[in-house]
Amino acid sequence: MPPTAIGARTEERSTVSSQPCPQAGLAHRTPPWRPCVALAVQYGHLRTAISGGYASRSRDGIHDLLDIETARATADTLATLHDDLTEGVGISGPAARRAIHAANHAPAFAGTIFSARAARDLLENPSLTVHDNPKAYLMCVYNREKALCHRLAGQQETPSLDRCQPTCANITRTDHHATQLMALADVLEKQAGTLTPAPMGKRLQARADNLRAIAKNHHNNRLTLAEASA
């Protein structure tokens, strides 16, 4: 399984359902349904089903809601990345320097996404479109010209995070992603050694080795904010 398809299996894809969202209520200012909607927007299902993207010609309440939720998710991702980089967290990947540039603008958008107009100001700026993709343990610094997921999905305006491709030039990872990859590798390795028949164990071990290789590649190529500015 390719590394960025870690969470791309059908059964793991996010959907909007009647079940309580596991992220609901994490922030007291956030309505309990909002993280679920934001996650669905990020993964493209809701937006694809309703409009096909930011560029939809008909603008109405649901499109404005989608824009606002997408922009807030992007602003949150930028703010987290900005804080991480400021604290010395390292970043790697072909889109690392674009991510650093985008994160520099995070303070300008903190707490400002209250209207569809403000949302579109952020979403229509191609240098700021950073999407968290936790299921693939990476961030997508979206540039439609470089996007590999569209060759499979046929979409243009937004990344198809659930179809993320491991060789895409829009990928970046932080130290946190590398730590998560190592933790997952540990779990898989433990399962491979104790709980499964040999063929399945070998597959789990191979997947664990692949995750460790990605994490090692991150640590060998990581940049800090200070190094990037030098």
Nearest approach, Cβ of residue 112 and ligand SF4 (Å): 25
Cβ of residue 13: shortest distance to ligand SF4, in angstroms?
Answer: 13
Q: Which is nearer to ligand SF4, 161 or 225 (CB)?
A: 161
The only residue of 41, 46, 75, 161 in contact with ligand SF4, by rule CB under 6 A: 161
Distance separating alpha carbons of residues 174 and 138, to the nearest angstrom: 8
Please state, in angstroms and rounded to a whole number, the distance separating the CA atoms of residues 169 and 188. Answer: 27
In angstroms, give the least distance from the CB of 40 to ligand SF4: 15
81 binds ligand SF4 (CB under 6 A): no
Binding ligand SF4 by CB under 6 A: which of 171, 185, 188, 211? 171
Residue 138 Rama label (left phi>0; alpha psi -120 to 50; beta): beta
Query: By rule CB under 6 A, what count of residues binds ligand SF4?
Result: 13
Find residue 141's DSSP bridge partners.
Answer: 130
User: Is there binding between residue 159 and ligand SF4 (CB under 6 A)?
Assistant: yes
142 binds ligand SF4 (CB under 6 A): yes
100 CB-contact burial (10 Å; exposed 0-12 / middle 13-18 / buried 19+): buried
Q: Of the two residues 14 and 116, which places its CB atom closer to ligand SF4 in the complex?
A: 14
Strand order from edge to edge, sheet including 171-174: 91-92, 171-174, 138-141, 130-133
Minimum Å gap between C-beta 78 and ligand SF4 is 16
| Dist. CA 138–CA 135, nearest whole Å | 8
- Asked whether position 225 contacts ligand SF4 by CB under 6 A, the answer is no
Cα(222)–Cα(7) distance, rounded to whole angstroms? 23
CB atoms near residue 109 (< 10 Å)? 21
Residue 103 in the binding site for ligand SF4 (CB under 6 A): no
Interacting residues with ligand SF4 (CB under 6 A): 140, 142, 147-149, 159-161, 164-165, 168, 170-171
